[in-house]
Amino acid sequence: MQPYRIIKKMMSTGKVIKDYLVEEAISIYREYSRFPVVSSAKISFREDSSHIIVNSESTQRDLERREQVKFSRNHILTHEHGKYSILCRTPPTELSKELWNKESPSGKLRCIIRRVTNQKGEEKDFIEIWEKTRKIWNIDALSKEIHGKIYEPDGQFGSLEWSATEKRLVYIAEKKLPKATSYFDAKNTSRTPDDETKPSETKARGDQHVLHEDWGEMLVGKHHPIVAILDLEGSTPEISLLDCVSDDVSLGQVRWAPDETGLVMVGWSHEPWRLGLTYCPIRKSQLYFAQTSGEDIKCFGDEDKAVRSPSFSPDGKKIVYMDNPASGPHYQCSRLLMIDWVNKETKVVLDVVDQAKDDEFAGVFVHSLPDRCWSSDSKRVLFSTVSRSHLVPVVVNTETQKVTRIKSPESGVSALQILDVHHDHIVAQFSAPNQPQYLVIGYLPPEGEEDTIEWVKLDAELNHKLDGITVELLKHKPIDGMINEEFPDLEFESIFLRPSECADSKFPLVVWSHGGPHSAFMGDFQLYPAAMCSCGFAVLLVNYRGSIGCGQNSIKSLLGKIGHQDVQDVQFAAESLLKLDYINENHVTVIGGSHGGFITLHLIGQYPDFYKAAVCRNPVTSLLTIFGSSDIPDWAFVECGLDFKHGKVADMESLETFWKMSPTRYVDQVITPTMFMVGTADLRVPPKCALEYYKALKARKIPVRFMSYAENSHPLNKVDAEADAFVNIVSWFWYYIC
C-alpha cells in the first residue's frame, strides 16, 4: 500500500497506524538517501589525446556510518565525427581523508592533499605528488611551521592550482600564529631583558584568551587565509608564503597568471571587523595581482565592491570575474567583468538586469563560475545561472555581450549545472524535482549555434526518475492589495509536486518557503520535498517576490517589506492551489528554514486558522534578537529597509522597526502546533531565537516541540541529524492532520 493511500484510510477510518507510517517514512528516506550528488567533474585527455576522461567526485549519505561518503569515478570516451562513444566506466572508489586531488595540466602529475590523524591524535596535512603510478613526494606541510591548516574546497577561500610548467603549486592555508602562553607558565617566569627583543614571543605571552575573528557560519576557525607556494623544482620541495599583500586582508580563490611570474587572487578586507561570508558574496573585496617575487602589487575593482571567481581565458589574454556592491542585500544580481590582461583595462561584459520578461535573460545569479568556463577560442564564457524557477546554462560572448541559453537534456522544471569546460567539451549535472542528479557531456557548437548542443548521458543505463511524482510550474500574478507600488509588474512562481496517482485522492499539502530571503527553489532535485511527496504529501515550493533569478527589481521589492510582501505571496500561492482539485483544504501544513522559518511563523500568526501544523528549522523569530547575535547583523537592517554601517547601534526607530517586522509580534494569535529544529552550532541564526519563541508558545499552552541537533550549523545537514529531522517532520504533520 502506498503511503498516501494509508493516509486516506486513516482519515476515513480514524485507525491509528502511526508506527507503520513511520516505518514507511524511514524506508522512503533510506531509499532516496542512496542517490549520490556530484560535487565536481573535470575533463582531461590521455597523452595521445585519443580518449577523453571525465573524472567526477560525488558524495552519498551513509546512514550506518552517519557521514557523507566521498567517492570518484572515471568515464572514458571518444569523440569522433561529432559523436561521443563511452568506452568504459570505472567503479566508484572511496576518497579517504582527501582534501584535494588535482591533476597537472599535462596529466603527467597529480597532487593529493590529505588530512590524517596520527597516533597522538594530532591532525597532519600531507601534500602528495604522484607521477603516473608512483608517489614521488610526500610533504608533511604542518611540520615545517610555515603555515597552519590547509584550506579544503570550502566554496570561499580554498584553492589548489598547478602552474603551467608544473614546477610549482599554489594553495590557501591558515596563517601561522605564535603559540599563545600564560603569563604564569613556568617557561615564562624567568625572563631577561634580552627576551624583550623577541616580538613574537612577547606578543604570544598572555594571548591565550585573545579573540581571533573568523569568517562566521560554516567558516569557523578560518581567521586569516594566506597564499602558500610549493616549489618542486629543486632537489627538495620548498614551501614559501606570498607575504606582499596587506596583513588586514584574507586571500583566496588564487590563480596563476599566464606568465607564471605572478598570482591573481581575491582579497577580503578585515576592517573594521569581519561579517559572515557564507551565502554573502557582498563582502568588501578586490582582485589582487602580485608578482611571486613580491616586487609589485596591483588591485582591480573599486574599493566599494565585492569581487569573486576570477578565471583566465585559454590564451591568457583575458580574465573574467563577477562583482557586486559591498553592501545591501546579501545575494543580488551580479555584474560580469573582463580584464584585458595585456593592457590591464577592465570592461563590463554583463551589467545588472533590473527586470526581464518571460524567457529573457534575467541577470547573473550564481555564486561562482566554473574554474574552467571559457571556450577554446577565448571569446565565450559558459556558466549556469538561476532564471526564475530553473537553473539554466548560458553562453556569453565577451565581445558582443550576447547571451544565449543552452537547452537542457530534458524539458520541464529542471536544473542543469555546468561543472567544467575544456577544449569545448562541457560536462554538466542535470536534475529535476522528480529526477536525481546525473552527468551529461556535450560539445559546444560554433558561435551563434549554441542552442543546438546535443547532450549525452554518461550513465544511460541508469534511470532513477521518480515516476510517482508529478511536477508542475505555477505562475502567480499579485492581486489588488498585494501589488508593490514601486515595482507593480512583478510576478512570481511556485514549483508544485504531487503524487501522480490522484484520480480519487485529495492530498495533504506542505507549503514551503525558501530562506535567504534572496535565494530560490531552482528546479533541482531535493531529497526532502521528493521524499515527502512519496510519503503522500503534495508540496508547494514558493519563489515569492524577492527571490533571485528575476532581475534586481525583485530583490529590491522586498526590502523594508519582509513579514508582509513575502508572507502575502506564500499565502496567496497556497490559497490559489486550494482552488484546484488536488488538495484537502483541511490538511494544510507549512515548513521553512532560516528566513523561510521567519515566513512560516508569520503565516501561523497572521493566518492562524489555515495551517494544521508547522515546522521551523533554525528560524528567524525576532529581529531584535538576530541583529545582536548573528554573524550577519547587517541582514536585519538591510531587509528592514534601514541603513547599516559597521559602527551602527540600534536606536529606538530601528528597534521599533525590528519589532513590527518580527514574527513574535503575532505570537498571541498562534494556535498551530509548531515544531522547532535548531543546530546548536548555528552562528547565522543562533538557537536562542527559536528557544525564545518555543517558550512563548509553551507558556500559551500551544502544542510545541523543540529538537536540538548538537554540532550542526545553520543547514542542519549532518547525516544523522538530516535523517532524524525528516522522520520527525513527517510524523509531526501526520499526527496533526490525522
- What pLDDT is stored for residue 132 in this prediction? 85
For the packed helices 595-606 and 565-578, what is the interaxial angle rounded to 10 degrees? 70
Distance CA 416, CA 508 (A): 30
CA angle, 571 then 500 then 7, to 5°? 75
Residue 4 lies in a domain: no
Residue 657 lies in a domain: no
Instruction: Point out which residues pair with 360 in neighbouring strands.
Output: none
Residue 504: closest CA among 17, 14, 2, 28? 2
Residue 7 lies in a domain: no
For residues 646 and 273, the answer to whether their CB atoms sit within 8 Å is yes
For residues 521 and 541, the answer to whether their CB atoms sit within 8 Å is yes
Whether 477 and 332 share a structural domain: no
Q: What is the mean pLDDT of residues 668-681?
A: 98
- What pLDDT is stored for residue 2 in this prediction? 60
- What pLDDT is stored for residue 5 in this prediction? 59
Distance CA 685, CA 621 (A): 9
Please state, as a whole number, how many other Cβ atoms lie within 10 Å of the Cβ of residue 729.
Answer: 24
Residue 691: closest CA among 625, 639, 599, 633? 625
Residue 22 lies in a domain: no
Of 2-11, 27-36, 266-275, 470-479, the poorest mean pLDDT is in 2-11
Q: Is this prediction's pTM over 0.85?
A: yes
CA angle, 326 then 327 then 332, to 5°? 90
Q: Give the rounded distance of the alpha carbon of 575 from its chain centre.
A: 31
Q: How confident is the model at residue 4 (pLDDT cuts 50, 70, 90)?
A: low
Q: What is the mean pLDDT of residues 657-679?
A: 98
Q: How confident is the model at residue 450 (pLDDT cuts 50, 70, 90)?
A: very high
Spatial strand order in the sheet of 492-499: 469-476, 492-499, 538-543, 507-513, 583-593, 613-617, 674-679, 704-709
The amino acid occupying position 735 is Y
The amino acid occupying position 440 is V
Residue 682 lies in a domain: yes
- What pLDDT is stored for residue 69 in this prediction? 96
CATH of the domain at 611: 3.40.50.1820
pLDDT digits (tens, 9 = 90+) for 335-361: 999 999 999 999 999 999 999 988 899
Distance CA 263, CA 71 (A): 31
User: For the chain, what is the radius of gyration of the CA atoms?
Assistant: 27
Residue 736: closest CA among 616, 552, 587, 605? 587
Distance CA 416, CA 438 (A): 10
pLDDT digits (tens, 9 = 90+) for 451-507: 899 999 999 878 889 989 999 999 999 999 999 999 999 999 999 999 987 656 789
Q: Which of 352, 382, 399 is a domain's end point?
A: 352
- What pLDDT is stored for residue 463 in this prediction? 82
Whether 345 and 476 share a structural domain: no
Q: What is the mean pLDDT of residues 665-680?
A: 98
Which positions are annotated as active-site residues? 594, 682, 714
User: Is the model's pLDDT at 3 over the cut of 60?
Assistant: no
Distance CA 4, CA 28 (A): 13
For residues 599 and 621, the answer to whether their CB atoms sit within 8 Å is no
Q: What is the DSSP letter of 181?
A: B
For residues 411 and 398, the answer to whether their CB atoms sit within 8 Å is no
- What pLDDT is stored for residue 8 in this prediction? 59
pLDDT digits (tens, 9 = 90+) for 175-234: 999 988 888 887 655 555 555 544 444 468 899 999 999 999 999 999 999 999 999 998
Q: What is the mean pLDDT of residues 533-554?
A: 97
For 346, half-sphere exposure in the C-beta direction (CA atoms, 13 angstrom radius) is 15
Distance CA 376, CA 369 (A): 16
Residue 105: closest CA among 316, 291, 384? 316
Distance CA 151, CA 522 (A): 29
- What pLDDT is stored for residue 629 in this prediction? 93
Instruction: Point out which residues pair with 516 in neighbouring strands.
Output: none
Q: How confident is the model at residue 11 (pLDDT cuts 50, 70, 90)?
A: low
- What pLDDT is stored for residue 628 in this prediction? 86
Residue 506 lies in a domain: yes
Whether 712 and 568 share a structural domain: yes
Q: What percent of the chain has pLDDT over 70?
A: 95
Q: Which of 299, 328, 352 is a domain's end point?
A: 352
Q: Cell 499539502, residue?
A: 509
For residues 612 and 597, the answer to whether their CB atoms sit within 8 Å is no
Question: How many structural domains are present in the chain?
Answer: 2
Coil, strand or helix at 201: helix
Whether 338 and 471 share a structural domain: no
- What pLDDT is stored for residue 200 in this prediction? 44
For residues 282 and 290, the answer to whether their CB atoms sit within 8 Å is no
Residue 696 lies in a domain: yes
Q: Cell 535523517, residue?
A: 723
- Tell me the pLDDT of the chain averaged across its residues: 93
Domain that holds residue 297: 118-181+212-352
Residue 69 lies in a domain: no
CATH of the domain at 320: 2.40.128.660
Q: Which of 302, 336, 352 is a domain's end point?
A: 352
Q: What percent of the chain has pLDDT over 90?
A: 84
Q: Where are the beta strands (DSSP E) in 244-373?
A: 249-256, 262-269, 285-291, 297-300, 305-312, 318-325, 335-340, 345-350
- What pLDDT is stored for residue 201 in this prediction? 46
